[in-house]
């Protein structure tokens, strides 16, 4: 690689890194507790324990659970119903209209054994605050798009960093940390202090080399993880246009026979709709139900989103469309690749695939990413402090020479 090309890659690495560093630091720091989201919520007792009931207590119907939520918030309608994995609990989301905002929605957890409320999910907890900050910085879709742009800059910083790292490592063995030699050790101990021609100390130079080696080493070691987490994060920031594309492309095709038909005023049994969807896809379990009119359904259907029963297929969802007026099965089709990518990106982003060992690994790599970002900022600030004295020294020397020539 020519010197000119190398300088271009160094310039690209420096400025893409500097622009996104503060935001990447925020994402790393807020992402760390989100990795252990379930465990932290359990410690904070945000999930209330279910009351003791006799073993084998029959479950109430989903319609009864829905009615409990509707009675709690009169004047609202059902939007979503999700199913807890390890408890007989459903979470019912209600709102005044089909396209209610997050501020208008209410989420109620209901025990299916009694159809009674066991808790309400609110957005005023510390974990919700951290999640909102991590997701969109409280700016809504535009905050998501901005963080997606910062993620794109991070990808450029990673690629350019690898390019710059390659010729640099030709002079050093992999993993080398230039800590200090004998003379530098004495200088650090206070016995010797050498001054560089530019006025700085050799101690500072050695410290900068050590941080540079550490920055390069951690960067190359975590390169694949940083790329995966950044790419999955970028995918999450464009979830809204991806869902809109799915509605326009696939959902409209499946429901074209309903074109021009008004949304029904009353809906058929939700419980029977879920049972119909399960019958159409044996071996799959319902993950959540989207009611007519919401983003994840059509204006005329319950969209029962089914997931696989095995760990390998549990993250792959397939929507079954059930006519909300008649309760009849309409269609079911595997999601397109971009919706599958959207679905798989979230658990991979937070390390939710391999249980606690993977979460611990994700946390360690997250901390290393913080060290990389901080060390990069330290190196840039240190260089700025070094360049400034050099400029002032040259300016003083030029002034003295000019004065001497005049005298």
Q: What is the pLDDT of residues 11-33, one digit of tens each?
A: 999 999 999 999 999 999 999 99
pLDDT of residue 122: 63
Q: Any idea what DSSP says for residue 194?
A: -
Please give the radius of gyration of the chain, using alpha carbons only, rounded to the nearest integer: 29
List the chain pLDDT tens, one digit each, 407 residues.
Answer: 678 888 899 899 999 999 999 999 999 999 999 999 888 877 765 546 677 777 778 899 999 999 999 999 999 999 999 998 888 999 999 999 998 988 899 999 999 999 998 866 666 678 888 999 999 999 989 999 999 999 999 999 999 988 887 777 677 666 566 665 444 444 433 444 444 444 445 556 667 778 888 888 888 889 999 999 999 999 999 999 999 999 888 888 888 777 767 777 789 999 999 999 999 988 899 999 999 999 889 889 999 999 987 766 777 889 999 999 999 999 998 889 999 899 889 889 998 877 899 999 999 999 999 999 999 888 888 776 665 555 554 544 444 444 444 44
For the stretch 349-402, pLDDT in tens is 998 877 899 999 999 999 999 999 999 888 888 776 665 555 554 544 444 444
Residue 45: inside a domain, yes or no? no
**Minimal CA–CA distance to 318: which of 269, 354, 365, 283?**
283
Question: Do 120 and 169 fall within a single domain?
Answer: no
Classify residue 80: in a domain, yes or no. Answer: yes
Rounded to two decimals, the pTM is 0.79
Residue 306 lies in a domain: yes
Query: Does some domain include residue 289?
Result: yes
Listed in sequence order, the residues at least 6 apart from 99 whose beta carbon sits closer than 8 Å to its beta carbon are 293, 294, 295
> How far, in Å, are 74, 99, 220 from residue 297 at the CA level?
23, 11, 43
Does residue 131 contact residue 32 with C-beta atoms inside 8 Å? no
On whether the CB atoms of residues 110 and 92 are closer than 8 A, the answer is yes
Q: Are 191 and 224 in contact (CB under 8 A)?
A: no
Which residue in this structure is represented by tokens 């700025």?
384
Query: Is residue 93 in some structural domain?
Result: yes
Task: Determine how many CB atoms are found less than 10 A away from the CB of residue 79.
Answer: 27
Looking at the domain assignment, is residue 283 inside a domain? yes
Residues 179 and 301 in one domain: no
Structure tokens at 321: 């469309």
Judgement on whether residues 275 and 376 belong to the same structural domain of the protein: no
pLDDT of residue 310: 72
Other CB atoms within 10 Å distance of the CB of residue 136: 17
pLDDT at 6: 84
CA–CA gap between residue 43 and residue 242 (Å, rounded): 35
Q: What is the predicted pLDDT for the residue at 192?
A: 40
Same domain, 332 and 281: yes
Do 179 and 282 share a domain, yes or no?
A: no
Domain extent at residue 276: 57-125+240-352
* Residues in Cβ contact with 326 at an 8 Å cutoff, skipping those fewer than 6 apart: 268
Same domain, 32 and 138: yes
Count of domains in the chain?
Answer: 2
* 370 and 260 belong to one structural domain: no
- Rounded to 10 degrees, the C-alpha dihedral 128/134/137/139 comes to -80
Q: Does residue 220 lie in a domain region?
A: yes
Based on the fold, state whether residues 86 and 22 are members of the same structural domain.
no
- 244/346 same-domain check: yes
Per the listing, tokens 């640099």 go with: 168
| Average pLDDT over the chain, rounded to an integer | 83
For the chain, the maximum distance between any two Cα atoms, rounded to a whole number of angstroms, is 105
Which of 307, 322, 352 is the endpoint of a domain? 352
Q: Say if 43 falls within a structural domain.
A: no
- Residues 335 and 388 grouped into a single domain: no
- 140/210 same-domain check: yes
Q: Are 33 and 145 contained in the same domain?
A: yes
pLDDT at position 206: 63
Distance CA 185, CA 108 (A): 63
Contact by Cβ (8 Å): 264, 278: no
pLDDT of residue 106: 92
Specify the 3-state DSSP secondary structure of 325. Answer: coil
SS3 content of the chain, % helix, strand, coil (to 5): 55, 15, 30
């Amino acid at each position: 690689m020519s010197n000119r090309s190398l300088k271009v890659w160094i310039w690209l690495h420096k400025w893409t890194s500097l622009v996104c560093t503060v935001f990447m630091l925020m994402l790393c720091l807020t992402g760390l507790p989100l990795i252990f989201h379930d465990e932290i919520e359990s410690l904070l007792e945000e999930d209330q324990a279910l009351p003791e009931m006799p073993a084998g207590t029959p479950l109430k119907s989903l319609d009864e659970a829905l009615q409990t939520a509707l009675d709690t918030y009169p004047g609202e309608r059902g939007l979503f119903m999700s199913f807890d994995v390890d408890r007989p609990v459903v979470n019912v989301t209600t709102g005044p209209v089909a396209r209610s905002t997050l501020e208008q929605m209410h989420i109620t957890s209901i025990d299916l054994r009694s159809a009674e409320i066991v808790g309400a999910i609110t957005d005023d907890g510390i974990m919700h605050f951290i999640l909102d900050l991590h997701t969109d910085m409280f700016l809504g879709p535009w905050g998501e798009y901005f963080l997606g742009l910062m993620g794109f800059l991070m990808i450029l910083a990673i690629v350019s960093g690898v390019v710059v790292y390659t010729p640099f490592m030709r002079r050093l063995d992999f993993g080398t940390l230039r800590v200090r030699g004998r003379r530098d050790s004495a200088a650090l101990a206070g016995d010797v202090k050498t001054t560089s021609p530019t006025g700085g100390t050799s101690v500072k130079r050695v410290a900068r080399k050590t941080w540079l080696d550490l920055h390069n080493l951690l960067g190359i070691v975590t390169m694949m993880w940083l790329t995966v987490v950044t790419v999955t994060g970028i995918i999450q920031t464009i979830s809204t246009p991806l869902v809109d594309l799915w509605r326009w492309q696939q959902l409209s095709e499946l429901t074209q026979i309903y074109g021009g038909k008004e949304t029904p005023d009353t809906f058929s049994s939700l419980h029977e709709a879920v049972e119909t969807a399960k019958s159409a896809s044996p071996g799959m379990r319902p993950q959540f139900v989207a009611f007519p009119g919401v983003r994840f359904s059509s204006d005329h259907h319950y969209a029962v989103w089914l997931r696989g029963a095995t760990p390998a297929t549990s993250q792959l969802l397939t929507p079954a469309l059930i006519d909300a007026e008649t309760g009849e099965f309409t269609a079911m089709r595997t999601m397109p690749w971009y919706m599958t990518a959207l679905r798989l990106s979230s658990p991979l982003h937070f390390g939710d695939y391999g249980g606690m060992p993977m979460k611990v690994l994700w946390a360690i790599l997250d901390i290393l990413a913080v060290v990389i970002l901080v060390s990069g900022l330290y190196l840039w600030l240190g260089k700025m402090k070094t360049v400034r004295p050099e400029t002032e020294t040259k300016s003083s020397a030029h002034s003295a020479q000019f004065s001497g020539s005049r005298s």
